[in-house]
């Protein structure tokens, strides 16, 4: 990318944008000149703090929107609020996600609704609601997939199935929304550990299975998202692993 602000005057909606990967992506997009809408559900305080930081750097460049994307009825209003606030929508980052184990024999309907709702159903209906504005802007959708959508994670059957569905949704939407809208996915490897934590020995084992023999950082994902949003006009329908070679 050679432009100083390649996303100047563009609007980016990031679901789950208050912290972790979402916040890293928001910082990259805002740093490239975009106005950002930070979606959250339970992390309103963190989202407001981040928006305040962005607005102090560039006035009227960030806002916070709240909705439960597991509830389809709330999604249209979420997208409408962003468009009313900034007048357009150029990039949608479907980042919000639940993650927890579901061992076979212990899976409940609540587990299914939560994991499918945040990782597959929500992104589909947010994308559908955003599609008209994205078509007008000739914009793009970036889905946060997972290498475990292609290689299942033990004890995480529902999560792995949801991410596999998100990957196929990425390919399908790329065909459906082209040529106006590009749709791609990022499949992170070990760049952030679960908030609940992992034993050190398990972390070391996972990192040892990467080709680069080290963990990544949220900025590795954020820079890929920025590339797809601002510098990849001929890239669509792709699932790009940012995993240090874990998938090989």
- Give the phi and the psi of residue 110 in degrees, each rounded to 5: -65, -40
For the chain, how long is the longest CA-to-CA vector?
Answer: 53
The answer to whether residue 159 is catalytic is: yes
CA distance 178 to 33: 25
Structure tokens at 110: 């609540």
In 3D space, the residue among 197, 194, 224 whose CA is nearest the CA of residue 24 turns out to be 224
Catalytic residue among 159, 185, 244, 246: 159
| Residue 113 CA: distances (Å) to CA of 15, 120, 162, 172 | 18, 10, 10, 22
Beta bridge partners of 143: 94, 185
Answer for the pair 123, 94: CB distance below 8 angstroms, yes or no.
Answer: yes
Contact by Cβ (8 Å): 82, 89 = yes
Write down how long the chain is.
248
Annotated catalytic residues are 159
């Amino acid at each position: 990318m050679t432009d100083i602000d390649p996303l100047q005057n563009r609007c980016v909606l990031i679901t789950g944008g208050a912290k972790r990967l979402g916040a890293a992506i928001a910082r990259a997009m805002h740093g490239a000149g975009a106005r950002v809408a930070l979606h959250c559900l339970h992390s309103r305080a963190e989202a407001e703090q981040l928006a305040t930081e962005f607005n102090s750097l560039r006035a009227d460049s960030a806002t916070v929107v709240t909705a439960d994307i597991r509830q389809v009825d709330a999604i249209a209003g979420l997208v409408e609020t962003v468009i009313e606030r900034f007048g357009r929508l150029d990039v949608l980052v479907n980042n919000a996600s639940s993650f927890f184990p579901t061992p076979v024999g212990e899976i409940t309907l609540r587990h299914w609704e939560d994991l499918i709702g945040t990782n597959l159903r929500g992104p589909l209906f947010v994308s559908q609601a955003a599609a008209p504005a994205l078509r007008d802007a000739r914009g793009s959708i970036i889905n946060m997939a997972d290498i475990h959508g292609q290689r299942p994670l033990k004890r995480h059957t529902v999560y792995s199935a949801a991410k596999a569905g998100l990957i196929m949704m990425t390919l399908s939407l790329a065909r459906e929304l082209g040529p106006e809208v590009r749709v791609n996915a990022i499949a992170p490897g070990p760049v952030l550990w679960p908030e609940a934590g992992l034993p050190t020995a398990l972390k070391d084992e996972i990192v040892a299975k990467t080709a680069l023999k080290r963990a990544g950082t949220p900025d590795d994902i954020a820079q890929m998202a920025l590339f797809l949003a601002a510098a990849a006009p001929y890239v669509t329908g792709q699932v790009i692993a940012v995993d240090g070679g874990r998938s090989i």
